[in-house]
Amino acid sequence: MCKTDAIRNLSAVFSAEKTVFAKDEIPIAKRYAQIGQLTLENDFLKKSLG
């Protein structure tokens, strides 16, 4: 999904116009929560394998 979004919006990176993001964009707080969860899972797997 990220790759297709990036390809679709690639022209906006080089344009002078401001990009309007979709209303269904993930809130920042939810992103930080997901990053925290993935960090915990990563640390758990490192300890389990090491």
Q: What is the mean pLDDT of residues 5-20?
A: 71
Q: What is the mean pLDDT of residues 8-37?
A: 77
Q: What is the mean pLDDT of residues 13-39?
A: 79
Q: What is the mean pLDDT of residues 21-32?
A: 78
| 1 or 42, greater pLDDT | 42
Residue 47: per-residue pLDDT: 95
Q: Does the structure show a pLDDT above 80 at 10?
A: no
Distance between CA atoms of residues 19 and 13, nearest Å: 9
Question: How far is the CA of 6 from the CAs of 26, 27, 47, 48, in angstroms?
Answer: 15, 18, 34, 35
Residue 21: per-residue pLDDT: 61
Structural contact between residues 12 and 19, judged by C-beta atoms closer than 8 angstroms: yes
